[in-house]
Amino acid sequence: MKVNLDTNIFISVKNKEEDSHFCGVVLDAIDDNKIKGIVSTIIIAEVCCFS
C-alpha cells in the first residue's frame, strides 16, 4: 500500500498534538516497511519552514 503524506502529519508529531499518536502509527508503519510513504518536495519545504 502507498500513502501520500501531507505536512500536517509531520507537524502534528513534531508539536506533540493531541491526536499525534495516530500520525506516529503511520510513520512507524512506513519505517517498518509495512506501507510505502510518498512525500513531495513541496511538503519537505513546508516542514522545513514550520520547524
What does each of the 51 residues of the chain score in pLDDT, given as a tens digit? 999 999 999 999 999 999 999 999 999 999 999 999 999 999 999 999 876
Q: What is the pLDDT of residue 51?
A: 63
pLDDT of residue 50: 76
* Structural domain count of the chain: 1
Hey, what's the cell of 41?
518536495
Its domain, for residue 10, covers: 2-50
Helix axes 7-15, 41-50, angle to 10 degrees: 30
In 3D space, the residue among 39, 36, 27 whose CA is nearest the CA of residue 1 turns out to be 36
Tell me how far apart the alpha carbons of residues 30 and 17 are, in angstroms, rounded to a whole number.
20
